[in-house]
Structure 1
Amino acid sequence: MGERPIDVTERSGVLVPSNLERFAARWSPPAGSIADVVDTYWAVEWNLASNEQVTQRILEFPAITVSIESGDVPAPFMITGVQRSAWVRTIRGTGTVFAIRLRPAGLAAISSLTASNLPAQTPLERGMDATLFDMMSAIAEAEDPATRADEVIAEARAATPPSHEHLLANAVVDTLSRTVRSRTGSRLAAEVGASERAVQRALQSTLGMGPKAVARRIRLQEVVRQLSIPGVDVSDIAVGLGYADQAHLIRDFRGVAGVTPGRYVRENSSSERGG
């Protein structure tokens, strides 16, 4: 399946769902040969009036992303580490972004950078990692960036295949994504066939955070998705996703999104009405 629009029913983490259509947000799958290092490609574009600006907030999946950007953007290439609160950027003018969301095993395959040392968002400069910078430059020059990304990332992966530890990190994130109610600790370790210590070490080395933080972020992405459903009840979401109670969900959501779920729903309803 090729490029397709990102739907509000999916876990995109976009905290203003109407922006998905407005910014022509779309997914594009990577080639199967690099599916263990690239999760997905995504792209957006915008053309705002001169007096308009949009504060875009995204509760991102726990992943490292590298992006190629043009127009009114901070830099031609950006790298975004795993964040503990919502990603925020003010959008102005015109622009485009083509982004590569990596699997946990991905960073080590294409870069010498370390996950734990990555800032939330920073321009990718050649002095930081010449190999990754040149790779992004080659993708940026291509007429079809997704196809070119498949090619250059496949070459990098062949030179530096994922280690057992990095593939374990992939398996842990896959397990948490499939079963959002999953608990961490011994149960998670048993599901992936490893020790708790090995799980902890694998996620710290690839994402810079432990299993509890990763599980929390994935579950909150599911909260965002469900809050986009008309007539949703927060207490039902809390029960369905295994929160101790509704208050726990509210605290967790407000801690990363900056607002309560109720206010979030009201704000989105207002934006959809144009208010």
Structure 2
Amino acid sequence: MTTSPGAGRTAARDDIERAHLVDPTDHTWSIARASVSPDLGDLARRFWIPVWDVPEGRDSVQRVLQYPVCLIVVSDGYTRFYGVVSGLSHTMLTGRGWAVGVMLQPAAGHLLTREPVRRMTDRFVDLRTVPALDGSALTRGVRAHMRPDPTSADAQAQAREVVEDALRPLLPVDDEGLLVTAIVEDVETSPELLRVDDLCARFDISERTLQRLLHKRIGLGPKWLIRRRRLQEAADRLRDSDAELAGIAVDLGYADQAHFTRDFRRATGLTPGEFASRFR
């Protein structure tokens, strides 16, 4: 398990860091992250467990360019199933609190909702209303372990076990779900992939079929998927002190720096230069 503080990190970043548009001056929170058990790899990617203590009169806004997956989040005050957020996700932290979250695989959302995941885009519902999960038992179990001391590594491990036990009955993942997960993984790990027709060629499927699969399983289409990966990569590279905007724009397939700047600002509310200045 790894723990990331709410401040600038000097260690090497990985794919987890790309999505979280962290403010390096915010020291009010920490996040413990952990892998899921190997047998659940087709259903879930990883856990994150934030614990925060925000002084009275202040707040801490967490901004995330979310991955193309659904989420399960249980806190002391709410329990939710989230669809994919097409824009920038905002979470406001106040006072003291904690949450236990699991990032699902692209295949999993449909298995839990039993309906096309496009109906969940930019929405969340109470976890206890999700058809394929005993959300009430899951919530009770997580809270029972976390409430005494949410910073305890043992408590966090027991809470993760509760979530994993609730997910296991969904196994095995169907072939369509595995295909969609493979498509998403290919986009996320292939910086050179910039066109939908190239993605179709890799998997030998038509664009119409690809559109249908992605809208059913993640709620958004292939153009969004490619654009989101480019923006996450841009945010990651802008943290480096020697990053050059023009070079990033070219590497990520933008026509010019102005196009890159407009796209990044529309998605994050900051220009690339403004975002980069946080880490200087």
Give the TM interval when normalised to the shorter protein: 0.7 to 0.9
Specify the alignment match of 1:46 in structure 2: 52
Q: CA deviation at 1:194?
A: 3.1
| Mapped pair 1:153 → 2:157 | no
Q: In the alignment, which of 201, 218, 222 is matched to residue 207 of structure 1? A: 218
Specify the alignment match of 2:275 in structure 1: 264
Native 8 Å contact 2:31 2:51 kept in 1? yes
CA distance in 2, matches of 1:246, 1:207: 30
Q: Structure 2 length as normaliser, TM-score?
A: 0.83
Specify the alignment match of 2:149 in structure 1: none
Q: In the alignment, which of 80, 91, 116 is matched to residue 78 of structure 1? A: 80
CA distance in 2, matches of 1:5, 1:21: 13
Q: 1:235-250 alignment to 2 at 5 Å? A: 235-250=246-261
Specify the alignment match of 2:20 in structure 1: 14
Native 8 Å contact 1:111 1:132 kept in 2? no
Native 8 Å contact 1:42 1:99 kept in 2? yes
- Helix, strand or coil for the counterpart of 2:67? coil
Specify the alignment match of 2:106 in structure 1: 104
Q: CA deviation at 1:193?
A: 3.8
CA distance in 1, matches of 2:25, 2:212: 37
Q: In the alignment, which of 212, 215, 232 is matched to residue 221 of structure 1? A: 232
| Mapped pair 1:5 → 2:7 | no
Q: CA deviation at 1:109?
A: 2.9
Q: In the alignment, which of 67, 70, 81 is matched to residue 64 of structure 1? A: 70
Q: CA deviation at 1:121?
A: 4.5
Aligned residues: CA RMSD: 2.4
Q: CA deviation at 1:207?
A: 0.9
- Helix, strand or coil for the counterpart of 1:232? coil
Superposed structure 1 runs of 4+ greater than 6 Å apart? none
| Higher RCO, Cα 8 Å, sep 6+ | 1
Q: Which amino acid aligns with 1:51?
A: G
CA distance in 1, matches of 2:164, 2:127: 22
How many aligned residue pairs are there?
Answer: 260
CA distance in 1, matches of 2:45, 2:26: 19
Q: From the superposition, tell whether residues 37 and 21 of structure 1 become closer, same or farther in structure 2 (CA, over 3 Å).
A: farther
| Mapped pair 1:55 → 2:61 | yes
Q: In the alignment, which of 112, 115, 118 is matched to residue 116 of structure 1? A: 118
CA distance in 1, matches of 2:211, 2:26: 34
| Mapped pair 1:188 → 2:199 | yes
Q: From the superposition, tell whether residues 128 and 32 of structure 1 become closer, same or farther in structure 2 (CA, over 3 Å).
A: closer
Q: Which amino acid aligns with 1:26?
A: A
Identity of aligned residues (%): 24
CA distance in 2, matches of 1:21, 1:42: 17
CA distance in 2, matches of 1:93, 1:167: 40
Specify the alignment match of 2:139 in structure 1: 137
CA distance in 1, matches of 2:25, 2:32: 11
- Helix, strand or coil for the counterpart of 1:18? coil
Q: CA deviation at 1:36?
A: 1.2
Structure 1, residues 87-120: CA drift from partner, whole Å, max 9, x if none?
Answer: 1122110111111111111123334354111152
Specify the alignment match of 2:190 in structure 1: 179
CA distance in 2, matches of 1:83, 1:221: 14
Structure 1, residues 139-198: CA drift from partner, whole Å, max 9, x if none?
Answer: 5145412223222211232xxx32222211101111011112303333212223433333
CA distance in 2, matches of 1:269, 1:176: 27
Structure 2: tracts of 5 or more residues without a match: 146-154
